[in-house]
Amino acid sequence: MQKFRLIMLASGLALVLPVTGFTQSVSDIQDLGSEERRAYMESMSPDERAAMREKWRAELDAMPEDERQAVRERMAANRPEGRRERAAMRERWESMSEEERAAFRQKREQTRAQRREHWESMSEEERAAAREKRGKHAKGRHGGAGKHKGENPDNTE
């Protein structure tokens, strides 16, 4: 009976702990160290991560603009690579008119559609070769395996 209670307690905690971790706010995650934050995010399922991102977006949208900008700056400080490029991209985006943004989005969608069409026209062997080539490219660039190993190289499926 003692073992049964222990098993029930452990299984109950196993069900409750992911839900409690799921309720983390942006500031709670920011307080973690980079390795702890990475481990925490990797421990979540893809659905949990997507839900967490949506929750964070809602929190950021509810903030005043100055507070939101401060959070973005703190988050950028945690990402040493590409910080300047992202800041330049954001500045360029914010300086665009609505018409320019719409044209940019349309061009991006056309490019995605062309890539998707090309991907769908490929044979399975060609796709496998493209995945292999993409994996080698990512490995050389990042010093490890590709971020989305096994997925098509242009994320169009």
Polymer length of the chain = 157
Domain for residue 41, yes or no?
yes
| Tokens 């603009």 -> residue | 65
Q: What is the residue-level pLDDT of the chain in tens, covering all 157 positions? A: 666 665 666 666 555 544 444 446 666 776 777 778 778 878 888 888 888 888 888 888 888 888 888 887 777 766 666 667 777 888 889 999 999 999 999 999 999 999 999 999 999 999 999 888 887 766 665 555 444 444 444 544 4
153, part of any domain = no
> Token digits for 24?
């983390």
- What are the pLDDT digits (tens) for 83-112? 677 778 888 899 999 999 999 999 999 999
CA distance 10 to 87: 46
How many domains would you assign to the chain?
Answer: 1
61-77 tens-digit pLDDT: 888 888 888 887 777 76
Which residue range forms the structural domain that includes residue 88? 13-124
In a domain, 52, yes or no: yes
Domain-located, residue 3: no
For the chain, the C-alpha Rg in angstroms (whole number) is 21
Whether pTM exceeds 0.75: no
Residue 149 maps to a domain? no
Residue 20 lies in a domain: yes
Beta-carbon neighbour count of residue 52 at 10 Å?
A: 20
Q: Do the domain assignments include residue 42? A: yes
Residue 58, in any domain of the structure: yes
